[in-house]
Amino acid sequence: METDFLKASFAKFTRYKTWLDKQPLAAHSKRAYRSRVNHFLVFLSQSNGEYMDALDDAKERDFAVRDYKLHLKRSLKMQPTSVNSALTAIDNFYQFLGMEPVKVKREDLPQLAPRGLSKDEQKRFVRAAERCRRAKDSAVALLLFYTGMRIGECAALDIDDVSVTGRKNRVTIRSGKGEKYRVIPLHSEAVEVVSAWLIERAKKLKNKSAETALFVNPQGKRMSTASLDLIIRKIGHDCGIELSAHVLRHTFLTTLVRSKNDLVLVAEIAGHKRLETTRRYTLPTQTDQERAIEAVVVDE
């Protein structure tokens, strides 16, 4: 029976991967779904036959997913956000199988603002970005830092999407999340590093056939989101900060909100479809909580 289950689950997972590749999702989302679904199927296969019908019967499936959720929380010590991400991937897999959504409650998430960099970390990051040997690395880092755009949006930029001459310096996101179009004014620091990269780009690719992408590799091919994110992580490592492009986005939006900018304005810059998403940045951070606790003083 277990051998039959393994064969059946492998066949379904193989078809799922083919189906997933055709879905309108970002590449990193597809990678995450594949990994999480595979992890779930391995869990099912190691259950001594307890979940043999979990891929066909809705009740058995819900029972198995509840046990898997407990396994993620108790055995693997996963955070609520990671647990919910796993459940989302499993929902996607069962959608492919033609079954209704899994009836398993998501984890309640802490009411905190997304993690961003502290003021000191921001200074260290900007200095490290400015010290980069390659103009491209500085441009990627500070463009993300001063616009808060998503890493996929950055990878999709063409040269014509960035205006760094004249008085109206801006970057145009032509197809953001949800196909949302928006224009973001460029900070003077971003203008400077992007201009430097465009000059270097033209010199390096003078005698090569290159794509129209703003950020290209030495062969003139558009850089992937993974390659761009690696630049950010390396700069973070150089200045002692655990970092990703997503953290830079959170930092930028948190700064805008805490500078008392109108939430509608911030939502437009961020490319948020719902104002509730932007309101997350008005919530306290983990650092805010820690400061509040440390501020408690007992009179002697």
Q: Where are the domains of the chain?
A: 2-96, 119-242
3-state SS of 169-238? CEEEECCCHHHCCEEEECCHHHHHHHHHHHHHHHHHCCCCCCCCECCECCCCCECCHHHHHHHHHHHHHH
Q: How far apart are CA 102 and CA 100, in angstroms?
A: 6
pLDDT at 89 over 70: yes
pTM: 0.65
Its sign, for the CA torsion 218, 220, 224, 229, is positive
Find the mean pLDDT for residues 122-141. Answer: 96
Sheet containing 182-185: give its strands across: 162-163, 170-173, 182-185
Report long-range pairs for 94-103 (Cβ below 8 Å, ≥24 apart): 94/61, 96/15, 96/16, 96/19, 96/20, 97/12, 97/16, 97/55, 99/58, 99/61, 100/58, 102/61, 102/62, 102/65, 103/58, 103/62
CA angle 16/21/24 to nearest 5° reads: 115
Contact 164, 186 (CB under 8 A): yes
Q: How far apart are CA 133 and CA 144, in angstroms?
A: 18
pLDDT at 205 over 80: yes
Which CATH superfamily is 119-242 part of?
A: Intergrase catalytic core (1.10.443.10)
The pLDDT of residue 230: 94
The pLDDT of residue 69: 96
Find the mean pLDDT for residues 146-159. Answer: 95
Cβ-based neighbours of 101, under 8 Å, separated by 6 or more: 91, 94, 95
Look at residues 109, 122, 182, 125 and name the one whose alpha carbon lies nearest to residue 150.
182
pLDDT at 113 over 70: no
Average pLDDT, the chain: 90
The pLDDT of residue 110: 64
Its sign, for the CA torsion 41, 43, 46, 51, is negative
For the segment(s) 2-96, the CATH number from 1.10.150, 1.10.357, 3.40.50, 2.60.40 is 1.10.150
Contact 117, 125 (CB under 8 A): yes
Q: How confident is the model at residue 160 (pLDDT cuts 50, 70, 90)?
A: very high
Least confident of 45-49, 72-76, 124-128, 242-246: 45-49
The pLDDT of residue 55: 93
The pLDDT of residue 68: 96
Find the mean pLDDT for residues 230-249. Answer: 93
Cβ-based neighbours of 1, under 8 Å, separated by 6 or more: 49, 52
Contact 101, 90 (CB under 8 A): no
Least confident of 90-104, 178-192, 280-294: 280-294
3-state SS of 30-74? HHHHHHHHHHHHHHHHCCCCCCCCCCCCHHHHHHHHHHHHHHHHH
Contact 142, 131 (CB under 8 A): no
Q: What are phi and psi of 252, to 5 degrees?
A: -60, -50
SS3 at position 110: coil
Find the mean pLDDT for residues 240-246. Answer: 91
Distances (CA, A) of 169 to 70, 159, 220, 248: 51, 13, 25, 21
